[in-house]
């Protein structure tokens, strides 16, 4: 039997010129008014808040979705710290690996489809040479799948590291220009871009990174982050434990996890959040929350300067659309 691995893998890359996605956006730092993106030949305006998600937006177009900022006040260019520079370089390397591996994957998948089609149309058994070539191509697809999975993990970890660094208090540069010495501002500036590998639903988290933004695209497929749940993102720089009355959840640094409260709907519960210390874990924060079936919460766990084991939290709530909630 001839392996036909490529027939189902990465079909969207080889069969379609673009993607069809739905997304909601959130700014981690300052809100981004006047962010716009191109869909075909139409420039669509979008204000991205920092205290709520945008409405769900449908997008059909090229794999790379590019945003630009019309209002230049939303940009805050400043010198980057060595840690931030290294984190952005790490992100760029992971993105470059993803792009290169994706291109090769698509080319090999197309070649495999062609070979399998030729063998099928000629109504013959594959020759020894055909089988050797197909086996080699399938093996390379497996290698590329592993590379893409590792690059995806590296991309997310780099994005979360950038978020953590951005959340840390920063002093203004000593040589910052005075207000009366501002240079003329351009009318628009590239803000951010993200390349989607496949169709789907996504949550786009924008974080500042120098003169522009980075985008962390979180899969929002049905069941991944359901209403009635909490998604914790650990930006403390340390491993933490979420201790509920009935269970304990470990969350490593620069990672995220989705949990559901042990409480019944419309009841409160408390989670003690402990940070890893030299001799175990220390209590860093008490998170009290109300379990609501039509609400989901994105919870950022952030460090408190000069208090090594203390944590603060920032919660963004997303309510189920009224029409969908009415059917539940």
DSSP letter string, 56-79: PEEEEE-SEEEEEESSGGG----P
Residue 175 confidence (pLDDT) above 70: no
- Of 9-18, 23-32, 126-135, 319-328, the least confident: 9-18
Average pLDDT over every residue of 129-145? 88
Residue 33 confidence (pLDDT) above 80: yes
Q: Which of 138, 108, 140 is nearest to 2 (CA)?
A: 138
Q: How many residues does the chain have?
A: 328
Return the residue matching tokens 């069941």.
223
Residue 321 confidence (pLDDT) above 60: yes
DSSP 8-state secondary structure symbol assigned to residue 248? E
On average, the pLDDT of the chain sits at: 81
Instruction: Categorize the per-residue pLDDT at 220 as very low, low, confident or very high, splitting at 50, 70 and 90.
Output: very high
- Dist CA 81 CA 95 (whole Å): 21
Biggest distance spanned by C-alpha atoms of the chain: 79
Q: pLDDT by residue (tens digit) across 62-95?
A: 888 888 765 444 444 557 788 888 888 888 888 8
Q: Pick the more confident residue, 144 or 42.
A: 144
At residue 23, the pLDDT reads 96
- Dist CA 272 CA 1 (whole Å): 56
Per residue in 51-90, is it b (16+ CB within 10 Å) or e — as a string?
A: eebbeeeebebebebebbbebeebbeeeeeeeebeebbeb
At residue 193, the pLDDT reads 86
- Total H helices, total E strands in the chain: 4, 16
Which residues is 25 bridged to in the sheet? Answer: 204
At 153 the three-state DSSP class reads helix
What residue ranges define each of the domains in the chain, with the CATH number in brackets? 1-224 (no CATH), 227-317 (2.60.40)
Which residues is 258 bridged to in the sheet? Answer: 231
Per residue in 281-320, is it b (16+ CB within 10 Å) or e — as a string?
A: beebbebebebbebbbbbbbbbbeeeeebbbeeeebebeb
Return the residue matching tokens 């590019």.
66
**E strand or H helix at 82:** helix 82-121
Phi and psi, residue 237, nearest 5°? 85, 0
Q: pLDDT by residue (tens digit) across 234-282?
A: 998 889 999 998 899 999 988 999 999 888 999 999 999 999 888 888 9
Q: Pick the more confident residue, 278 or 211.
A: 278
* Residues 302/313, Cβ–Cβ less than 8 Å: yes
């Amino acid at each position: 039997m001839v392996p036909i691995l490529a027939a189902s893998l990465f079909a969207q890359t080889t069969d379609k010129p673009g993607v069809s996605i739905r997304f909601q956006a959130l700014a981690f730092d300052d809100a981004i008014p006047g962010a716009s993106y191109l869909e075909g030949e139409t420039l669509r305006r979008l204000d991205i808040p920092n205290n709520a998600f945008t409405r769900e937006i449908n997008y059909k177009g090229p794999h790379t979705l590019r945003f630009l900022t019309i209002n230049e006040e939303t940009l805050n260019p400043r010198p980057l710290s060595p840690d931030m520079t290294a984190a952005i370089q790490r992100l760029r390397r992971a993105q470059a690996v993803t792009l290169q591996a994706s291109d090769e994957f698509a080319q090999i998948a197309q070649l495999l489809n062609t070979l399998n089609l030729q063998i099928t149309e000629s109504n013959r058994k594959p020759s020894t040479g055909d089988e050797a070539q197909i086996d080699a191509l399938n093996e390379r697809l497996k290698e590329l799948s592993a590379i893409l999975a590792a690059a995806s993990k590296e991309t997310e970890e780099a994005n979360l590291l950038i978020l953590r660094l951005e959340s840390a208090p920063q002093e203004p540069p000593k040589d910052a220009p005075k207000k009366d010495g501002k240079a003329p501002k351009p009318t628009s500036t590239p803000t951010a871009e993200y390349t989607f590998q496949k169709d789907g639903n996504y949550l786009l988290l924008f974080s500042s990174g120098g003169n522009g933004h980075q985008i962390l695209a979180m899969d929002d497929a049905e069941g991944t982050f359901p209403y009635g749940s909490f998604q914790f993102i650990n930006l403390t720089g340390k491993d933490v434990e979420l201790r509920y009355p009935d269970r304990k959840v470990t969350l490593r640094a620069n990672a995220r996890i989705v949990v559901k409260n042990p409480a019944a709907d419309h009841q409160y519960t408390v989670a003690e959040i402990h940070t890893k210390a030299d001799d175990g874990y220390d209590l860093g924060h008490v998170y009290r929350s109300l379990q609501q079936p039509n609400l989901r919460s994105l919870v950022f766990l952030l460090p408190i300067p000069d208090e090594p084991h203390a944590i603060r939290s920032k919660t963004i709530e997303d309510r189920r659309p009224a029409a969908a909630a009415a059917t539940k």
